[in-house]
Amino acid sequence: MSATLTGALVGAVLAFAALVFGFWGFLLVALLMAIGALAGRVASGRLDLRALAGAFTGRRTSS
C-alpha cells in the first residue's frame, strides 16, 4: 500500500469520526490510531522501545 493511499484512508477514517462522534471522538480515534501504529511498529521490529526510552531519558544519543 502506497503512502498516498494510506494517507487518504487515514484522512477518511478521521473525517468520518469527526462527522459521527464530534470533536472529542475525533481526538480519541486519532489517539487510538497513533497507538495502533506504534504497536504495529514494535511488533514488526521497526521500533525499539528501549532505545527510544534511552534517547528520551538522556542515557543514549539517537545516533
- The string over 44-57, giving b where at least 16 C-beta atoms fall within 10 Å of a residue's C-beta and e elsewhere, is eeeeeeeeeeeeee
Domain extents in the chain: 3-57
Higher pLDDT, 15 or 63: 15
pTM: 0.72
In tens, the pLDDT along 6-62 reads 889 999 999 999 999 999 999 999 999 999 988 888 888 888 888 888 888 887 665
